[in-house]
Amino acid sequence: FRGGAELLFDGVKKHQVTLPCQPEPWDIRNLLKWIKQNLLKERPELFMQGETVRPGILVLINEADWELMGELDYKLQDQDNVLFISTLHGG
């Protein structure tokens, strides 16, 4: 989490997680639900909108824009690096 997004997660920028086993492969959609339930500490409306990230949150999967990877439908692989960067700034 970067660009201020880490403030919603107790200021922790890096989380290394092991996702629980489930019958279907994990995708970003399910990862976001898991993050909301397990890591997000405050103001979920600043991170999520519906089942996706809110506008202004850039998502990178292994350093590539998630729009190139299938966004919510991207199937996570072992050792994937998912980065959330807030591009929203107050003033």
pLDDT in tens for each of the 91 residues of the chain?
888 888 889 889 999 999 999 899 999 999 999 999 999 998 899 899 999 999 999 999 999 999 999 999 999 999 999 999 998 765 4
What domains are defined for the chain? 5-86 (3.10.20.30)
Instruction: Give, for 53, the enclosing helix (H) or strand (E).
Output: strand 52-53
Ramachandran region, residue 59 (left: φ > 0; alpha: ψ -120 to 50; beta: rest): beta
Q: Identify any residues that bridge with 64 across adjacent strands, giving them in sequence order.
A: 61
Alpha-carbon gap, residue 56 to 12, rounded angstroms? 19
Cβ atoms of 87 and 57 closer than 8 Å: yes
Residue 88 tokens, joined: 């929203």
